[in-house]
Amino acid sequence: MNFKLNEAIELLERTPKTLEVFLSGLSGKWLGCNEGEGTWNTTEVVDHLIEAEKNNWMPRLECILQEGESRVFSPLTGLPT
């Protein structure tokens, strides 16, 4: 599948509502349990998504919009090189 911005937006716009529907009303036990050592619980996954949105994806997008699509990002840090 080739990337199309309007299709990505279509999907991403649904993410907050989807998470709300799936997670609202669940007990702390459900939200805090994980699959064992080295795995994340639901709360940690949502926190990670929020952190990535604020500190990774939005800065990348701003960089691309300012400098163009040819800007290279480090595969290790995700930061512009």
Cα 20 to Cα 16: distance, rounded to the nearest angstrom: 6
Query: Worst-scoring range by mean pLDDT, 10-14, 17-21, 29-33, 37-41?
Result: 10-14
Cα 11 to Cα 2: distance, rounded to the nearest angstrom: 15
Structure tokens at 48: 């990670």
How many domains does the chain divide into? 1
Indicate whether 51 belongs to any domain.
Answer: yes
Indicate whether 59 belongs to any domain.
Answer: yes
pTM score, whole prediction: 0.67
Indicate whether 70 belongs to any domain.
Answer: yes
Instruction: Between 31 and 56, name the one with better pLDDT.
Output: 31
Domain extent, residue 47, equals: 41-81
pLDDT at position 32 is 96
Q: Of 61, 59, 57, which is closest to residue 49 (Cα–Cα)? A: 57
**pLDDT tens digits, one per residue of 33-63:** 999 999 999 999 999 999 888 888 877 778 8
